[in-house]
């Protein structure tokens, strides 16, 4: 594959994987105080705590895969962090645009303030 095409596809794949992590975590649509409330409530409910741990693990797997995919696309190690921040910001924007629809398709919670 051509070097530019390879780097572009790796960048796009990284953005997709990070978007999926944010969709699983439901980051873009929930205010921080709702997340804190949900974490506090899950400490009293073992089933909710387990679901939260699984969701954290799945999101971390997506992020780890994104980082592994991105590493070969950034030839200069000093540029890795700015590129990763860029992909994360793009993923956050995409999640805010289509996150609710993706969660709806996946059968998960959707919308602001959902637990």
* Structural domain of 74: 3-105
What's the rounded mean pLDDT across residues 50-76?
94
Per the CB < 8 A criterion, the answer to whether 99 and 22 are in contact is yes
Has residue 114 been placed in a domain?
Answer: no
Number of domains in the chain: 1
pLDDT score, position 34: 85
Measured CA to CA, the distance from residue 93 to residue 62 in angstroms comes to: 17
Measured CA to CA, the distance from residue 72 to residue 94 in angstroms comes to: 24
Confidence of residue 115 (pLDDT cuts 50, 70, 90): very low
Has residue 61 been placed in a domain?
Answer: yes
Has residue 113 been placed in a domain?
Answer: no
Has residue 110 been placed in a domain?
Answer: no
Has residue 112 been placed in a domain?
Answer: no
Report the predicted TM-score, pTM, of the whole model to 2 decimal places: 0.82
Has residue 115 been placed in a domain?
Answer: no
| Tokens 């780097």 -> residue | 7
Confidence of residue 110 (pLDDT cuts 50, 70, 90): very low
């Amino acid at each position: 594959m051509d070097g530019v095409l390879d780097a572009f596809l790796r960048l796009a794949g990284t953005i997709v994987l990070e978007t999926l992590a944010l969709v699983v975590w439901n980051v873009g649509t929930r205010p921080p105080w709702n997340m804190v409330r949900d974490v506090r409530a899950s400490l009293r409910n073992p089933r909710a705590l387990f679901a939260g741990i699984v969701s954290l693990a799945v999101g971390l797997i997506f992020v780890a895969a994104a980082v592994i995919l991105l590493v070969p696309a950034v030839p200069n190690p000093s540029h890795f962090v700015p590129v990763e921040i860029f992909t994360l910001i793009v993923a956050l924007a995409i999640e805010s645009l289509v996150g609710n629809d993706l969660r709806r398709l996946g059968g998960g919670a959707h919308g602001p303030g959902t637990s």
